[in-house]
Amino acid sequence: MATQQPEFEHPKKAFGWAARDTSGLLSPFNFSRRETGEKDVAFKVLYCGICHSDLHIVENDFGMSTYPLVPGHEIVGVVTEVGSRVHKFKVGDKVGVGCLIDSCHSCQNCVENLENYCPQLILSQGGAKHKDGTTTYGGYSDSMIADEHFVIGIPDEFPLDAAAPLLCAGITVYSPLKYFGLDKPGLHIGVVGLGGLGHLAVKFAKAFGANVTVISTSPNKQKEALENLGVDSFLISHDQDQLQAAIGTLDGIIDTVSASHSLLPLIGLLKSHGKLIMVGLPDKTLELPLIPLIKGRKIIAGSMIGGIKETQEMMEFAAEHNVKPDIEVIPIDYVNKAMERLHKADVKYRFVIDIGNSLKPSF
Protein backbone atom coordinates (compact mmCIF):
# COMPACT_ATOMS: atom_id res chain seq x y z
CA MET A 1 0.00 0.00 0.00
CA ALA A 2 1.35 3.46 -0.92
CA THR A 3 2.66 5.65 1.88
CA GLN A 4 1.21 9.07 2.55
CA GLN A 5 4.51 10.78 1.71
CA PRO A 6 4.57 11.76 -1.99
CA GLU A 7 8.36 11.64 -2.23
CA PHE A 8 8.36 7.95 -1.26
CA GLU A 9 5.36 6.65 -3.23
CA HIS A 10 7.53 5.73 -6.20
CA PRO A 11 11.25 5.15 -6.89
CA LYS A 12 12.02 8.16 -9.09
CA LYS A 13 12.55 11.51 -7.40
CA ALA A 14 10.64 14.41 -8.94
CA PHE A 15 10.32 18.08 -8.18
CA GLY A 16 7.68 20.67 -8.93
CA TRP A 17 5.47 23.37 -7.48
CA ALA A 18 2.30 22.41 -5.62
CA ALA A 19 -0.69 23.94 -3.89
CA ARG A 20 -1.21 22.72 -0.32
CA ASP A 21 -4.74 24.05 0.26
CA THR A 22 -7.62 25.99 -1.29
CA SER A 23 -5.68 29.25 -1.19
CA GLY A 24 -4.12 27.94 -4.40
CA LEU A 25 -0.72 29.33 -3.41
CA LEU A 26 2.01 27.31 -5.14
CA SER A 27 5.45 26.53 -3.68
CA PRO A 28 8.33 24.05 -4.23
CA PHE A 29 7.42 20.40 -3.68
CA ASN A 30 9.33 17.12 -3.66
CA PHE A 31 7.46 14.01 -4.81
CA SER A 32 8.10 10.90 -6.90
CA ARG A 33 7.11 9.21 -10.14
CA ARG A 34 6.98 5.53 -11.02
CA GLU A 35 9.68 3.58 -12.79
CA THR A 36 9.31 3.43 -16.58
CA GLY A 37 7.13 0.43 -17.38
CA GLU A 38 7.28 -1.58 -20.59
CA LYS A 39 4.68 0.61 -22.31
CA ASP A 40 5.67 3.89 -20.68
CA VAL A 41 7.31 7.01 -22.07
CA ALA A 42 9.28 9.17 -19.61
CA PHE A 43 10.23 12.71 -20.55
CA LYS A 44 11.94 15.77 -19.19
CA VAL A 45 9.41 18.60 -18.96
CA LEU A 46 10.60 21.77 -20.69
CA TYR A 47 7.38 23.83 -20.83
CA CYS A 48 3.92 23.68 -19.30
CA GLY A 49 0.98 25.89 -20.19
CA ILE A 50 -1.24 27.51 -17.58
CA CYS A 51 -4.90 26.86 -18.29
CA HIS A 52 -7.75 28.74 -16.60
CA SER A 53 -8.93 25.41 -15.24
CA ASP A 54 -5.61 25.16 -13.34
CA LEU A 55 -6.83 28.14 -11.36
CA HIS A 56 -10.12 26.38 -10.57
CA ILE A 57 -8.33 23.17 -9.64
CA VAL A 58 -5.75 24.65 -7.25
CA GLU A 59 -8.56 26.51 -5.46
CA ASN A 60 -10.86 23.44 -5.50
CA ASP A 61 -13.66 25.29 -7.30
CA PHE A 62 -14.91 21.98 -8.73
CA GLY A 63 -14.90 20.28 -5.30
CA MET A 64 -12.68 17.40 -6.47
CA SER A 65 -9.13 18.54 -5.70
CA THR A 66 -6.87 16.78 -3.19
CA TYR A 67 -3.71 18.26 -1.75
CA PRO A 68 -0.78 18.56 -2.17
CA LEU A 69 -1.64 19.25 -5.82
CA VAL A 70 0.78 19.76 -8.71
CA PRO A 71 -1.23 21.40 -11.52
CA GLY A 72 -0.52 21.49 -15.24
CA HIS A 73 -2.01 19.55 -18.15
CA GLU A 74 -0.34 21.21 -21.14
CA ILE A 75 2.96 19.43 -20.69
CA VAL A 76 5.75 19.22 -23.29
CA GLY A 77 9.34 18.09 -23.31
CA VAL A 78 11.89 15.60 -24.63
CA VAL A 79 11.83 11.82 -24.16
CA THR A 80 14.45 10.49 -21.73
CA GLU A 81 13.44 6.82 -21.52
CA VAL A 82 11.02 4.39 -23.17
CA GLY A 83 9.76 0.97 -22.12
CA SER A 84 10.61 -2.23 -23.96
CA ARG A 85 7.21 -2.40 -25.69
CA VAL A 86 7.04 1.24 -26.78
CA HIS A 87 6.94 1.58 -30.58
CA LYS A 88 5.88 5.16 -31.33
CA PHE A 89 8.62 7.09 -29.54
CA LYS A 90 12.35 7.05 -28.88
CA VAL A 91 14.76 8.94 -26.65
CA GLY A 92 15.15 12.52 -27.87
CA ASP A 93 11.68 12.84 -29.42
CA LYS A 94 9.61 15.96 -28.73
CA VAL A 95 6.39 14.93 -26.98
CA GLY A 96 3.53 16.15 -24.85
CA VAL A 97 0.80 15.02 -22.47
CA GLY A 98 -2.50 16.84 -22.15
CA CYS A 99 -5.48 16.45 -19.84
CA LEU A 100 -5.63 12.65 -20.06
CA ILE A 101 -3.14 10.26 -18.50
CA ASP A 102 -5.16 7.03 -18.70
CA SER A 103 -8.59 5.49 -19.34
CA CYS A 104 -10.21 2.05 -19.21
CA HIS A 105 -9.11 1.21 -22.81
CA SER A 106 -12.14 -1.06 -23.32
CA CYS A 107 -15.41 0.91 -23.23
CA GLN A 108 -17.16 2.05 -26.40
CA ASN A 109 -15.68 5.53 -26.12
CA CYS A 110 -12.14 4.22 -25.81
CA VAL A 111 -12.64 1.83 -28.73
CA GLU A 112 -13.82 4.77 -30.85
CA ASN A 113 -10.81 6.96 -29.92
CA LEU A 114 -12.94 9.08 -27.59
CA GLU A 115 -10.94 8.51 -24.41
CA ASN A 116 -11.96 12.00 -23.30
CA TYR A 117 -15.49 10.66 -22.72
CA CYS A 118 -14.44 7.43 -20.97
CA PRO A 119 -16.33 7.07 -17.65
CA GLN A 120 -13.07 5.94 -16.05
CA LEU A 121 -10.73 8.52 -17.55
CA ILE A 122 -7.82 9.59 -15.34
CA LEU A 123 -6.79 13.24 -15.49
CA SER A 124 -3.13 14.20 -15.46
CA GLN A 125 -3.58 16.61 -12.54
CA GLY A 126 -5.96 17.66 -9.78
CA GLY A 127 -5.28 14.89 -7.32
CA ALA A 128 -6.83 12.15 -9.46
CA LYS A 129 -5.71 8.59 -8.75
CA HIS A 130 -3.65 6.26 -10.91
CA LYS A 131 -4.85 2.68 -11.15
CA ASP A 132 -2.36 1.75 -8.40
CA GLY A 133 -4.06 4.21 -6.05
CA THR A 134 -1.31 6.80 -6.02
CA THR A 135 -1.89 10.45 -6.88
CA THR A 136 -1.43 11.99 -10.32
CA TYR A 137 0.79 15.05 -10.44
CA GLY A 138 0.74 17.50 -13.33
CA GLY A 139 3.27 19.35 -15.42
CA TYR A 140 4.48 22.13 -13.12
CA SER A 141 7.30 19.66 -12.54
CA ASP A 142 10.62 18.49 -13.93
CA SER A 143 9.52 15.12 -15.31
CA MET A 144 6.51 13.23 -16.61
CA ILE A 145 5.67 9.63 -17.38
CA ALA A 146 2.71 8.14 -19.22
CA ASP A 147 1.56 5.14 -21.20
CA GLU A 148 2.64 5.76 -24.80
CA HIS A 149 -1.00 5.72 -25.91
CA PHE A 150 -1.56 9.03 -24.10
CA VAL A 151 1.62 10.71 -25.34
CA ILE A 152 1.39 13.14 -28.26
CA GLY A 153 4.24 13.49 -30.74
CA ILE A 154 5.24 17.07 -31.53
CA PRO A 155 6.62 17.76 -35.03
CA ASP A 156 10.31 18.71 -34.96
CA GLU A 157 9.73 22.06 -36.64
CA PHE A 158 7.09 23.18 -34.13
CA PRO A 159 8.36 25.16 -31.09
CA LEU A 160 7.71 23.42 -27.79
CA ASP A 161 6.58 26.54 -25.92
CA ALA A 162 3.88 27.16 -28.53
CA ALA A 163 2.88 23.49 -28.59
CA ALA A 164 2.01 23.38 -24.88
CA PRO A 165 -1.35 25.27 -24.92
CA LEU A 166 -2.53 23.24 -27.90
CA LEU A 167 -2.78 20.16 -25.66
CA CYS A 168 -5.84 21.65 -23.92
CA ALA A 169 -6.92 24.98 -25.41
CA GLY A 170 -6.08 23.91 -28.95
CA ILE A 171 -7.85 20.57 -28.97
CA THR A 172 -10.84 22.03 -27.08
CA VAL A 173 -11.69 24.24 -30.05
CA TYR A 174 -10.29 22.09 -32.88
CA SER A 175 -12.39 19.06 -31.95
CA PRO A 176 -15.86 20.70 -32.21
CA LEU A 177 -14.92 22.55 -35.40
CA LYS A 178 -14.06 19.18 -36.97
CA TYR A 179 -16.81 17.04 -35.47
CA PHE A 180 -19.67 19.42 -36.25
CA GLY A 181 -18.51 20.07 -39.82
CA LEU A 182 -17.44 23.65 -39.17
CA ASP A 183 -14.05 23.08 -40.79
CA LYS A 184 -15.12 23.68 -44.41
CA PRO A 185 -13.71 26.61 -46.43
CA GLY A 186 -16.14 29.48 -46.92
CA LEU A 187 -18.26 28.86 -43.83
CA HIS A 188 -19.12 31.77 -41.56
CA ILE A 189 -17.98 30.93 -38.02
CA GLY A 190 -18.54 32.95 -34.85
CA VAL A 191 -16.26 32.83 -31.82
CA VAL A 192 -17.66 34.05 -28.50
CA GLY A 193 -14.93 35.36 -26.19
CA LEU A 194 -11.40 36.31 -27.18
CA GLY A 195 -9.19 34.67 -24.57
CA GLY A 196 -6.99 31.58 -24.44
CA LEU A 197 -9.60 29.37 -26.11
CA GLY A 198 -11.18 32.04 -28.28
CA HIS A 199 -8.03 33.27 -29.99
CA LEU A 200 -7.13 29.68 -30.91
CA ALA A 201 -10.66 29.07 -32.21
CA VAL A 202 -10.11 32.09 -34.47
CA LYS A 203 -6.77 30.77 -35.69
CA PHE A 204 -8.02 27.24 -36.40
CA ALA A 205 -11.17 28.49 -38.12
CA LYS A 206 -9.10 30.81 -40.32
CA ALA A 207 -6.74 27.92 -41.12
CA PHE A 208 -9.79 25.91 -42.24
CA GLY A 209 -10.66 28.76 -44.62
CA ALA A 210 -13.61 30.18 -42.69
CA ASN A 211 -14.91 33.72 -42.52
CA VAL A 212 -14.61 34.50 -38.78
CA THR A 213 -16.63 36.83 -36.57
CA VAL A 214 -15.63 37.48 -32.96
CA ILE A 215 -18.46 38.21 -30.52
CA SER A 216 -17.21 39.96 -27.39
CA THR A 217 -18.29 42.15 -24.49
CA SER A 218 -15.02 44.10 -24.79
CA PRO A 219 -14.85 46.86 -27.44
CA ASN A 220 -11.16 47.32 -26.60
CA LYS A 221 -10.42 43.93 -28.17
CA GLN A 222 -11.74 44.93 -31.58
CA LYS A 223 -8.50 46.38 -32.96
CA GLU A 224 -6.50 43.38 -31.75
CA ALA A 225 -8.99 40.96 -33.34
CA LEU A 226 -9.14 42.71 -36.70
CA GLU A 227 -5.52 43.74 -37.10
CA ASN A 228 -3.52 41.04 -35.32
CA LEU A 229 -5.73 37.96 -35.50
CA GLY A 230 -7.21 38.70 -38.91
CA VAL A 231 -10.87 38.20 -38.07
CA ASP A 232 -13.35 39.34 -40.70
CA SER A 233 -15.80 41.10 -38.38
CA PHE A 234 -16.28 41.96 -34.72
CA LEU A 235 -19.57 42.22 -32.84
CA ILE A 236 -20.06 43.87 -29.46
CA SER A 237 -22.43 41.48 -27.73
CA HIS A 238 -24.40 44.22 -25.96
CA ASP A 239 -24.79 46.39 -29.08
CA GLN A 240 -28.29 45.56 -30.25
CA ASP A 241 -27.89 47.34 -33.59
CA GLN A 242 -24.82 45.26 -34.45
CA LEU A 243 -26.52 42.03 -33.40
CA GLN A 244 -29.66 42.87 -35.36
CA ALA A 245 -27.64 43.53 -38.50
CA ALA A 246 -25.94 40.12 -38.17
CA ILE A 247 -29.03 37.97 -37.53
CA GLY A 248 -28.99 34.69 -39.45
CA THR A 249 -25.46 35.10 -40.84
CA LEU A 250 -23.41 32.38 -39.09
CA ASP A 251 -23.14 28.68 -39.90
CA GLY A 252 -21.71 27.87 -36.50
CA ILE A 253 -20.52 29.42 -33.27
CA ILE A 254 -17.88 28.25 -30.79
CA ASP A 255 -18.78 29.69 -27.38
CA THR A 256 -15.68 29.80 -25.15
CA VAL A 257 -17.07 32.01 -22.36
CA SER A 258 -17.08 30.71 -18.79
CA ALA A 259 -19.11 33.58 -17.33
CA SER A 260 -22.90 33.55 -17.17
CA HIS A 261 -24.39 34.97 -20.39
CA SER A 262 -27.50 34.86 -22.53
CA LEU A 263 -27.74 32.32 -25.35
CA LEU A 264 -30.70 34.01 -27.05
CA PRO A 265 -28.72 36.56 -29.12
CA LEU A 266 -26.22 33.87 -30.15
CA ILE A 267 -28.99 31.58 -31.40
CA GLY A 268 -30.34 34.54 -33.35
CA LEU A 269 -27.01 34.95 -35.17
CA LEU A 270 -27.21 31.40 -36.54
CA LYS A 271 -28.56 30.49 -39.94
CA SER A 272 -31.18 27.75 -40.12
CA HIS A 273 -29.44 24.46 -39.24
CA GLY A 274 -26.71 26.48 -37.52
CA LYS A 275 -24.80 25.02 -34.56
CA LEU A 276 -23.89 26.67 -31.28
CA ILE A 277 -21.13 24.65 -29.57
CA MET A 278 -20.43 25.25 -25.90
CA VAL A 279 -16.87 24.68 -24.69
CA GLY A 280 -16.74 27.15 -21.77
CA LEU A 281 -17.89 26.25 -18.26
CA PRO A 282 -20.15 28.96 -16.80
CA ASP A 283 -20.53 28.71 -13.04
CA LYS A 284 -24.30 29.19 -13.27
CA THR A 285 -26.90 27.29 -15.27
CA LEU A 286 -27.75 29.04 -18.53
CA GLU A 287 -31.32 29.45 -19.79
CA LEU A 288 -32.11 27.56 -22.97
CA PRO A 289 -34.65 29.36 -25.18
CA LEU A 290 -36.41 26.68 -27.24
CA ILE A 291 -38.58 28.65 -29.66
CA PRO A 292 -35.68 30.15 -31.67
CA LEU A 293 -34.05 26.71 -31.76
CA ILE A 294 -37.16 25.05 -33.12
CA LYS A 295 -37.85 27.76 -35.66
CA GLY A 296 -34.54 27.28 -37.41
CA ARG A 297 -33.82 23.61 -36.64
CA LYS A 298 -30.73 24.87 -34.84
CA ILE A 299 -28.48 22.89 -32.54
CA ILE A 300 -26.85 23.61 -29.19
CA ALA A 301 -24.18 21.09 -28.27
CA GLY A 302 -21.23 20.67 -25.96
CA SER A 303 -17.70 19.43 -26.47
CA MET A 304 -14.83 18.55 -24.12
CA ILE A 305 -11.19 18.44 -25.27
CA GLY A 306 -10.67 15.53 -27.69
CA GLY A 307 -9.45 11.95 -27.94
CA ILE A 308 -5.78 11.06 -28.29
CA LYS A 309 -5.93 10.30 -32.03
CA GLU A 310 -7.64 13.61 -32.73
CA THR A 311 -5.20 15.50 -30.50
CA GLN A 312 -2.31 14.09 -32.53
CA GLU A 313 -4.10 15.10 -35.72
CA MET A 314 -4.61 18.60 -34.32
CA MET A 315 -0.93 18.97 -33.43
CA GLU A 316 0.14 17.98 -36.94
CA PHE A 317 -2.43 20.32 -38.51
CA ALA A 318 -1.17 23.18 -36.33
CA ALA A 319 2.41 22.55 -37.42
CA GLU A 320 1.46 22.32 -41.10
CA HIS A 321 -0.63 25.51 -41.02
CA ASN A 322 1.49 27.45 -38.52
CA VAL A 323 -1.30 27.72 -35.96
CA LYS A 324 0.44 28.96 -32.82
CA PRO A 325 -1.08 30.42 -29.66
CA ASP A 326 -0.04 33.89 -28.54
CA ILE A 327 1.91 33.20 -25.36
CA GLU A 328 3.75 34.90 -22.52
CA VAL A 329 6.62 32.70 -21.32
CA ILE A 330 7.34 32.99 -17.59
CA PRO A 331 9.71 31.43 -15.02
CA ILE A 332 8.26 29.09 -12.40
CA ASP A 333 8.77 31.59 -9.58
CA TYR A 334 6.34 33.96 -11.33
CA VAL A 335 3.54 31.38 -11.29
CA ASN A 336 1.58 32.82 -8.34
CA LYS A 337 1.63 36.27 -9.94
CA ALA A 338 0.49 34.67 -13.20
CA MET A 339 -2.45 33.09 -11.38
CA GLU A 340 -3.39 36.50 -9.98
CA ARG A 341 -3.27 37.99 -13.46
CA LEU A 342 -5.29 35.08 -14.83
CA HIS A 343 -8.02 35.92 -12.32
CA LYS A 344 -8.19 39.35 -14.00
CA ALA A 345 -7.89 37.97 -17.56
CA ASP A 346 -4.64 39.93 -17.80
CA VAL A 347 -2.78 37.82 -20.38
CA LYS A 348 -2.59 37.67 -24.18
CA TYR A 349 -3.51 34.93 -24.38
CA ARG A 350 -1.80 32.08 -22.59
CA PHE A 351 0.93 31.80 -19.95
CA VAL A 352 3.55 29.12 -20.55
CA ILE A 353 6.02 28.20 -17.79
CA ASP A 354 9.65 27.75 -18.88
CA ILE A 355 10.18 24.66 -16.74
CA GLY A 356 13.48 23.63 -18.29
CA ASN A 357 15.29 26.87 -17.52
CA SER A 358 13.68 27.93 -14.26
CA LEU A 359 12.67 24.90 -12.17
CA LYS A 360 15.57 23.96 -9.92
CA PRO A 361 15.35 20.77 -7.83
CA SER A 362 15.71 21.05 -4.06
CA PHE A 363 17.11 17.56 -3.51
Q: Do domains 6-168+319-358 and 170-302 have the same CATH topology?
A: no
Nearest by Cα to 187 from 275, 285, 301, 247: 275
Per the CB < 8 A criterion, the answer to whether 262 and 268 are in contact is no
Nearest by Cα to 44 from 54, 52, 33, 55: 33
Q: How confident is the model at residue 64 (pLDDT cuts 50, 70, 90)?
A: confident
Query: What's residue 195's pLDDT?
Result: 93
Query: What's residue 7's pLDDT?
Result: 73
The letter for the amino acid at 112 is E
User: 170-302 in CATH: which number?
Assistant: 3.40.50.720
Per the CB < 8 A criterion, the answer to whether 298 and 292 are in contact is yes
Per-residue pLDDT reduced to its tens digit, 94-111: 999 999 999 999 999 999
User: Residue ranges per domain, the chain?
Assistant: 6-168+319-358, 170-302
Per-residue pLDDT reduced to its tens digit, 273-318: 999 999 998 878 899 999 999 999 999 999 999 999 999 999 999 9
Arithmetic mean of pLDDT, 7-11: 78
| CATH architecture assigned to 6-168+319-358 | Alpha-Beta Complex (3.90)
Please say if the pLDDT value at position 4 is more than 60: no
DSSP letter, residue 134: P
Q: What is the pTM of this model?
A: 0.94
Cβ-based neighbours of 336, under 8 Å, separated by 6 or more:
25, 26
Q: Give the whole-angstrom CA distance, residue 189 versus residue 183.
A: 9
Higher pLDDT, 198 or 63: 198
Query: What's residue 321's pLDDT?
Result: 98
